[in-house]
Amino acid sequence: MTDAVIKCDSVYKIFGTNAKKMLQEANGNVDAKTFQENGCIVGVNNASFEVSKGEMLVVMGLSGSGKSTLLRCISRLTDATAGKIYIDGQDLLSLNNKELIELRRNKMGMVFQSFALLPHKTVLENIAFPLQIKGVEDQECINKAMDMVKLVGLDGRENYFPRELSGGQQQRVGIARSLAVEPDIWFLDEPFSALDPLIRKEMQDEFLRLQAKLQKTIMFITHDFDEALKLADRIAIMKDGIIEQLDTPAKIVLNPATEYVRKFTEEVPREKVLKIEDVMEKPNNENLSDLKVSKNEIIENVAEKILTQEKSVAVIDENNKIVGTLHPSKIIHTVFGGRKNNG
Instruction: Report d(CA 334, CA 303) in Å as an integer.
Output: 11
Q: Least Å distance between CB 234 and other proteins?
A: 23
Q: Least Å distance between CB 279 and other proteins?
A: 41
Q: Least Å distance between CB 145 and other proteins?
A: 9
CB 130 within 8 A of CB 105: yes
User: Which is closer to other proteins, CB of 158 or CB of 247?
Assistant: 158
Neighbours of 319 (CB within 10 A): 6
Q: What percent of the chain is helix, strand and coil (3-state, nearest 5)?
A: 45, 25, 30
Instruction: Report d(CA 242, CA 108) in Å as an integer.
Output: 25
Q: Which residues bind other proteins (CB under 8 A)?
A: 72, 75, 77, 97-98, 101-102, 104-106, 108-110, 112-122, 124-125, 129-130, 132-134, 138, 142, 159, 174, 177-178, 181, 187
The residues near 150 (Cβ < 8 Å, ≥ 6 apart) are: none
Query: Which of 58-96 are b and which e, b meaning 16 or more Cβ less than 10 Å from the residue's Cβ?
Result: bbbbeeebbbbbbbbbbbbebebbbbebbbbeeebeeee
Question: CA angle, corner 161, sides to 159 and 165, nearest 5?
Answer: 105
User: Which is closer to other proteins, CB of 66 or CB of 324?
Assistant: 66
Strand segments, DSSP code E, in the chain are 4-15, 41-52, 56-61, 82-87, 90-91, 108-111, 185-189, 217-222, 234-239, 242-247, 288-294, 312-316, 322-326
Identify the helix (H) or strand (E) that includes residue 17. none
CB 293 within 8 A of CB 326: yes
Q: Least Å distance between CB 109 and other proteins?
A: 7
User: Which is closer to other proteins, CB of 22 or CB of 181?
Assistant: 181
Instruction: Report d(CA 155, CA 271) in Å as an integer.
Output: 38
Q: Least Å distance between CB 217 and other proteins?
A: 15
Q: Least Å distance between CB 90 and other proteins?
A: 16
User: Which is closer to other proteins, CB of 98 or CB of 282?
Assistant: 98
User: Which is closer to other proteins, CB of 121 or CB of 262?
Assistant: 121
Instruction: Report d(CA 144, CA 179) in Å as an integer.
Output: 10
User: Which is closer to other proteins, CB of 138 or CB of 317?
Assistant: 138
Q: Least Å distance between CB 37 and other proteins?
A: 26
Among 278, 269, 275, smallest CA distance to 301 is for 275
User: Which is closer to other proteins, CB of 94 or CB of 159?
Assistant: 159
Q: Least Å distance between CB 17 and other proteins?
A: 14
User: Which is closer to other proteins, CB of 122 or CB of 265?
Assistant: 122
